[in-house]
Amino acid sequence: MTDFNIYVSTNEVPRSALDLMRAVGKVRVFDGAAAPPRDLLLKEVAGADALFCVLTEKVDAELFARAAKLKAVANMAVGFDNIDLAEATRKGVMVTNTPDVLTETTADATMALVLAAARRIAEGDRLIRRGGWKLRWSPMMMVGHDVYGKTLGIYGLGRIGAAVAKRASGFGMKLVYYDSNRNRDLEERLGASYVPFDDLLKEADFLTVHVPLLPSTRKSIGGRQLGLMKKTAYIINTSRGQVIDEASLVRALEEKTIAGAGIDVFEDEPIGPASPIAKLENVVLTPHLASASVETRTEMAMMAARNVVAALKGEVPPNLVNREVLRAGAVPADRGS
């Protein structure tokens, strides 16, 4: 059992998660501050039985071609758009993610962006720091928009979308949603109404994005869709940057055809001060941190480690995303569930 080789692509995994994996194999951890350079990653996976990685690693056909022994890829993220799932399945490699554990944390961050964008929190902070607060109080200084009583448009009513809906109810918001799978049960429980996508864009005072990145959702919010939104509306994204066409978003924010945005994820991460979106006052930016609480990130690492352990023990990992791989015999039939 301990002959297994496990490669961990980040040195920020808690010891408890590494210890879990050490019980089933030899664990090599990338020893650098950022992500492993591509050639190193390809070299390391060549001898690996399992890869514990994060969303900055591109786990594609080239990687699978190099990784002849690979049995499992455990992504320490709920999203797995960095992994070529079809190719993994073809090669008989199990892919796992970390759902549920980050739902509430991500929903909290989403509401933080709703509030920060609407009430100009980051802009106010910048104003003070640059010495721009001159009058003690004036009637129209830093006025934003109310959140209470407004319509929240939820694009993707999955686990995180639903957790955001619950919070928004507490803020007295009206809830509308669009999802490719209508869920009447959840609608009833949350008090949310289903609307077609274009109506979602037209009705939302705050449009919050919670769809995964798929071919069908990539750039699904572009110039046309932004053009349907109210002039007073805000867009919030804690999902994946590529769901929104960023150049169109920047244009809408510059031309003020929408009021503002709260953005945690970007088309090409990381971004810096030279990025066009970072030059705008009417957007609150955070560096892909929506699930970043100590508790959640620690549990995400533990989950990913448990998935590695299960896969290497020949069990079905708890968070297997490509279940079709079981049919291809990744796990002996009597152990598949």
Least spacing, CB of residue 243 vs ligand GLV, in Å:
12
Supply the DSSP string of 35-103, one letter for each residue: PPPHHHHHHHHTT-SEEEE-TTS-B-HHHHHH-TT--EEEESSS--TTB-HHHHHHTT-EEE---STTH
Nearer of residues 76 and 207 to ligand GLV, judged by Cβ: 76
Contact call for residue 163 and ligand GLV (CB under 6 A): no
- Nearest-angstrom CA–CA distance, 214 and 230: 26
Number of residues that bind ligand GLV (CB under 6 A): 6
Nearest to 108 by CA among 177, 160, 186: 160
Which segment (16-24, 75-83, 122-130, 141-149) binds ligand GLV by CB under 6 A? 75-83
DSSP alpha helix (H) spans, 132-239:
159-170, 184-190, 197-203, 223-228
Q: For the CB of residue 77, give the shortest distance to ligand GLV in the complex, in Å.
A: 3
Q: Judged by CB under 6 A, which stretch of 3-11, 21-29, 74-82, 266-274 contacts ligand GLV? A: 74-82
Site for ligand GLV in 131-160 (CB under 6 A): none
- By CB under 6 A, tell whether 79 contacts ligand GLV: yes
Residue 249 beta carbon to ligand GLV: minimum distance, rounded to whole angstroms: 18
C-alpha 128/C-alpha 152 separation (Å) is 30
Tell me whether residue 288 is one of the annotated catalytic residues.
Answer: yes
Per-position x/- string for 95-124, each x denoting binding to ligand GLV as judged by CB under 6 A, each - no binding: -------x----------------------
Query: What is the rounded distance in angstroms from the CA atom of residue 162 to the CA atom of residue 243?
Result: 19
**Residue 291 near ligand GLV by CB under 6 A:** yes
Concatenate the DSSP letters of all residues of 263-331 into one string.
ES--SSSS--TTSGGGG-TTEEE--S-TT--HHHHHHHHHHHHHHHHHHHTTSPPTTBS-THHHHTTSS
Q: Which residues are bridge partners to 154 per DSSP?
A: 177, 208
For residues 79 and 124, which CB has a smaller minimum distance to ligand GLV in the complex? Answer: 79
**269 belongs to the catalytic site:** yes
- In angstroms, rounded to a whole number, what is the distance separating the alpha carbons of residues 51 and 28? 10
| Tokens, residue 85 | 């799932």
Using CB under 6 A, pick the residue from 20, 73, 77, 277 that binds ligand GLV. Answer: 77
Q: Which is catalytic among the residues 120, 210, 288, 306?
A: 288
CB of 106 to ligand GLV, least distance (A): 8
Q: Nearer to ligand GLV by C-beta: 229 or 320?
A: 320
Known catalytic residues are 240, 269, 288
Residues making contact with ligand GLV (CB under 6 A): 55, 77-79, 102, 291
